[in-house]
Amino acid sequence: MRFRATLTKIWEFLIEKAVLLAGLASVVFVVLIFIFLLREGLRTFATVSLSDFLFGRKWYPISTPPQFGILPMICGSALVTLGAALLGVPLGLASAIYIAEVAPPRIKEVLKTGIELLAAIPSVVLGFVGLVVVVPFLRQTFDLPTGQTALAGAIMLSLMALPTTVSITEDALTSVPKRYREAALALGATHWEYIHRVALRAAAPGIVAAVMLGIGRVIGETMAVMMVTGNAGLIPHSFLQPVRTMTATIAAEMGETVKGSTHYAALFAIGIVLFVITFLVNLIADSFLHRSKVTLR
């Protein structure tokens, strides 16, 4: 009896440690990702200085001497992200408000499933649809030499950001305490007045987080954007010009580069930039989410 009890105790102890190890796995992987990006990417800075890398305007990775300036890609990513935010944020907020506050339960379920399905469309399929539908449409409408533009990327990316923005905004709105609504309505406010004067303000931190997380997805999105933006490595001056994003550069060139070359290292260095940007965006979004939980308690 004694022996069995001890055995159980040892077993429990082992299990607990194994479970703890599994719990630590995510931390380990984040660290590993960072280490491997640094391990391969830092070599770039033996050839170019950090400021030439970030602010250089020329990306000629295989000419001699090679030039690794990623400013055009940073501008490309920024422009596409800005466009996607301008298109996606108003649409996302409006539909989240409609789903959370206005829609009858039945329609609400249908809409939520629809948004869930939008999130499920693989990005390569969205890119394909963008290539065969949106790109020709833009070329004809604006009479352009090519429809593969920043605008095409922004349109596809706004679709990809919508599900994130909608579902987190909706969460934020539905977690506004009931007493806020009761108090507003009791004071004679209409339902709409409650929504835009009370609910939107109370849910503001959560909504900011929703927008940030949507933007985080957009910055990191690769396939859809690579297929529709034309991949021209020039600093864009309008939404109707082709652009090349950081993600697309990695995806397009990784297959052709020699493993271990400076070009290969430079692609990892772009990866470091992306990792740092998305890390910060997610960190800020999470602090807003946390704040919304605290204020609404």
Partner 1 sequence: MKSATTQKLAFAALGVTTVLVTVPVLLILGLIIKNGAGAISWEFLTTAPRHGMREGGIFPAIVGTLCLVATAVAAAVPLGVLAAVYLNEYAGDNWLTRLIRLAIINLAGVPSVVYGLFGVGLFVMFLKFGSSILAGGLTLAVMNLPVIITATKEALDAVPQTFREVSLSLGVSKWKTIRHIVLPNAIPGILTGIILEVSRAAGETAPILFTAAAFYLPGLPKSVFSQVMALPSHLFAISTQIPNISMQTRYGTALVLLALVFGVNCFAIILRARLRARRKW
Q: Which is nearer to partner 1, 201 or 238 (CB)?
A: 201
Task: Label residue 14 exposed, middle or buried (CB < 10 Å: 0-12, 13-18, 19+).
Answer: exposed
Contact present, 77 and 281 (Cβ < 8 Å): no
Q: Which one, of 69, 62, 118, lies nearest residue 244 by Cα?
A: 69
Judged by CB under 8 A, does residue 42 bind partner 1? no
Q: Which is nearer to partner 1, 238 or 279 (CB)?
A: 279
Determine the straight-line distance between the first and last CA of the chain, rounded to whole angstroms. 49
Question: Cα-flanking dihedrals φ and ψ of residue 59, to 5°?
Answer: -115, 90
CA-to-CA distance for 198 and 75, rounded, in angstroms? 37
- Of positions 72, 220, 230, 242, contacts partner 1 by CB under 8 A: 220
Q: Which is nearer to partner 1, 47 or 282 (CB)?
A: 282
Q: What residues numbered 130-189 form the site for partner 1, per CB under 8 A?
A: 131-133, 159, 162, 166
- Of positions 33, 42, 62, 86, contacts partner 1 by CB under 8 A: 33
x/- site string to partner 1, residues 241 to 270, per CB under 8 A?
Answer: ------x--xx--xx---x-------xx--
x/- site string to partner 1, residues 84 to 113, per CB under 8 A?
Answer: ------xxx-xx-xxx--xx-------x-x
Q: Which is nearer to partner 1, 206 or 220 (CB)?
A: 220
Q: Which one-letter DSSP state was computed for residue 243?
A: B
Q: At its nearest, how many Å lie between partner 1 and the CB of residue 237? A: 25
Q: Which is nearer to partner 1, 37 or 79 (CB)?
A: 37
Q: How far is CA 19 from CA 9, 12, 14, 24, in A?
A: 15, 10, 9, 9
Q: At its nearest, how many Å lie between partner 1 and the CB of residue 138? A: 15
CA-to-CA distance for 276 and 247, rounded, in angstroms? 13
Q: How many residues does the chain have?
A: 297
Judged by CB under 8 A, does residue 118 bind partner 1? yes
